[in-house]
Amino acid sequence: MNLETLRHSTAHVMAHAVKSIWPNVKIAIGPAISDGFYYDFDKKEPFLPEDLKKIKEKMRQIIKEDHKFVKKDISKKEALELFHDEIYKQELISEIPEDMVSTYTDGNFTDLCKGPHLASTGKIKAFKLLSIAGAYWRGSEENPMLQRIYGTAFSSQKELDDYLKLLEEAKKRDHRKLGKELEFFIVDEQAGAGLIIYQPKGALLRTIIEDWEKKEHLKRGYELVASPHILRSDIWVRSGHYEFYKEHMYIFNMEDEEYAVKPMNCPAHMIVYKSKTRSYRDLPLRLFELGSVYRHEKSGVLHGLLRVRGFTQDDAHIFCLPGQLQDEIETVIDFVIDAMGIFGFDEYAVELSTRPKESIGTDQDWKDATSALEASLKNKKISYEVNEGDGAFYGPKIDIKLKDAIGRFWQCATIQCDFALPERFDLAYVDQDGKKKRPVMIHRVILGSMERFIGSLIEHYAGALPLWLSPVQAIVIPITDKQHKYAAKINDILAKAGLRTRVDNRKETMGYKIREAQTQKVPYMVIIGQKEEDKEKIAIRSRISGDEGQASIDKFIDRLNKEIEEKA
């Protein structure tokens, strides 16, 4: 059974049920989505959780009655008469370019829909209504706020049960919940929606990742640059962002000049390229920046660290000769795959996104850019899906989505091939024949948004980060006040060995301190009692295996250093 057809049919039945219970409710749209379906309704009073039970029971009745889904093609005029009291359907009908539209009817309910649907309502075997949310009609804040009911459907009850278990596991791993419990970050309305404030442990985690990034980029031939957070609007006009991306930009005036907070780092990197004459011998030139950017995302799509308004990208731009293009793309792909493995992501999915309707550049440039990306993927023997029309406005792109511990995919790495912006900024190099020629530009991120990547790490590991990433790698816990001095000595030795540790000498029970260290996902506890002090040893308790007995401090340090080096 086709899942999309099943879910679209279930959304239809949900709309039927809602209209049966609340005849005055106006219906909008109800598509199938990647993991289920939704339907948007215009209802004066808010849906309550108990209303979902009423809707579910009515749906079960409609399914039991096994109404056939009957398709009928009618003229737009007939459709406008049929849906005369449905303002959202009327708007949709008026925008359909064809003279005829299709409807589907089951029992006494008819919906505007191009289908397809199942043969009958009785074919729906397993479904679940999940949640209620607000959604602007057609995604615009200028339109009415509707109520959206989400649900999902599967071909069997077992598949549904498995999916619901996955949802429960996802709730446990929710980075917003864990980020608060582990004191990693804060999202505070006083600061502004979608703007992240890192707490000490979160800032340390971010620093660990950024330090690793800088080291890896320098090792791979990149040069570090840094650019301001604001640039004059003229540069954004030249790049095309002002035309194609303005609604996502923060723009302001100062001393009779217009500026924009940067949503991208590329214009500044092109200024670096143009700062002196470049020879073909200088290329490829790889410029890297951990650049903070700001984009105006609608409030309804903001989601913890995963969708924010201010974030930092591990952004780089590679300027190369046309003949170097494919090798550079393949080198970036290798970098991404290496990085994913180091952070514990062994599986990924790849998409190749092609030219969107709104874009710049010539047809030939787009063809050459797309061919280079495609040839690189084929040469690396990487399977991919084509995502038609979803490229950047200046070039096609490869998106690499990493798969986490419970099977979800996260967008991180992107590789974009760009002939258009080097043309707009008149970038050039002097070739071996003495003539000026145009370089090709690759835009790329490896981990992507630092915020999104940290969010994905938290959920992938359920907060229990590997030792090399853990902000606190070990907690030293003295059993009594008598061991405070020895505990401080041990902590000092660990700290001088480069380990991130702290002492918990609060007047709490040992059980409480151990439970809290477990809750905080600390990899190791170093227990200090009188026996340990007398023998000048430590007792080790692991987050994974529990009590491990006594060991020398040197042996413990060697063990942790090996684990950190292996990034286990």
Structure confidence by residue, pLDDT tens digits, 78-92? 999 999 999 999 999
Give a yes or no: residue 561 inside a domain. yes
Q: How many domains does the chain have?
A: 3
Tell me, what's the pLDDT at 441? Answer: 96
Is 393 inside a domain boundary? Answer: yes
Q: Is residue 259 part of a domain?
A: no
The tens digit of pLDDT for each residue in 363-414 reads 999 999 999 999 999 999 999 999 999 999 999 999 999 988 888 888 889 9
* pLDDT confidence tier of residue 113, bands split at 50, 70 and 90: very high
User: Is the previous residue joined to 116 through a cis bond, with omega within 30 degrees of 0?
Assistant: yes
193 and 127 part of one domain:
no
CA–CA separation, 472 and 205 (whole Å): 9
pLDDT in tens, 266-285: 999 999 999 999 999 999 99
Q: Does residue 231 fall inside a structural domain?
A: no
What digits encode the pLDDT tens for the residues 250-268?
A: 999 999 999 999 999 999 9
Would 480 be classed as within a structural domain? yes
Name the helix (H) or strand (E) containing 387: strand 385-387
pLDDT per residue over 486-501, tens digit each?
999 999 999 999 999 9
**171 vs 459: CA distance, rounded Å:** 9
- Give the closest residue to 69 by CA, choosing from 29, 113, 30: 113
310 and 434 housed in the same domain: yes
Q: Are 298 and 156 in a shared domain?
A: no
- Structure confidence at residue 536 (pLDDT): 93
Note whether 503 and 558 are same-domain residues.
yes
User: Do 544 and 502 share a structural domain?
Assistant: yes
pLDDT at residue 568 is higher than 80: no
Taking 90 as the threshold, does the pLDDT of residue 56 lie above it?
yes
List, for residues 93-103, the tens digit of each pLDDT value.
999 998 999 99
> What average pLDDT does this structure show over 446-469?
96
> Which of the residues are catalytic?
266, 295, 313, 315, 317, 397, 443
Q: Are residues 201 and 298 in the same domain?
A: yes
Q: Please state the rounded mean pLDDT for residues 313-333.
A: 96
Residues 277 and 419 placed together within one structural domain of the fold: yes
Residue 477: per-residue pLDDT: 96
pLDDT in tens, 133-176: 998 998 887 899 999 999 999 999 999 999 999 999 999 999 99
Among 416, 437, 460, which residue terminates a domain? 460
Helix axes 3-21, 49-65, angle to 10 degrees: 110
Q: Are both 212 and 351 inside the same structural domain? A: yes
Scan for tokens 């760009």, then name that residue. 418
Q: Is residue 255 domain-resident?
A: no
CATH classification at residue 59: 3.30.980.10
Residue 472 contacts residue 520 (beta carbons within 8 Å): yes
Same domain, 308 and 338: yes
Please state, for a pLDDT cut of 90, what percent of the chain lies above it. Answer: 92
- Using the 3D structure, point to which of 173, 193, 209 is the last residue of a domain: 173
Single out the residue in 418, 436, 460 at which a domain terminates: 460
The CATH number of whichever domain residue 388 belongs to comes to: 3.30.930.10
Task: Provide the whole-model pTM.
Answer: 0.87
For the cut 70, the answer to whether the pLDDT of residue 1 exceeds it is no
- What would the mean pLDDT of 470-499 be, rounded to a whole number? 95
pLDDT at residue 351 greater than cutoff 80: yes
Are 329 and 446 found together in one domain? yes
Q: Let me know: does 550 contact 539? Beta carbons within 8 Å.
A: yes
For residue 134, what are the domain limits?
3-173
Are 350 and 203 in a shared domain?
Answer: yes
251 occurs within a structural domain: no
**Domain contains 178:** no
Nearest-10 crossing angle of helices 553-566, 484-496: 40
Three-state secondary structure readout of 263-330: CCCHHHHHHHHCCCCCEHHHCCEEEEEEEEEECCCCHHHCECCCECCEEEEEEEEEEECHHHHHHHHH
- Could you tell me the pLDDT band of residue 301, with boundaries at 50, 70 and 90? confident
Same domain, residue pair 349 and 498: no
Q: What are phi and psi of 169, to 5 degrees?
A: -65, -40
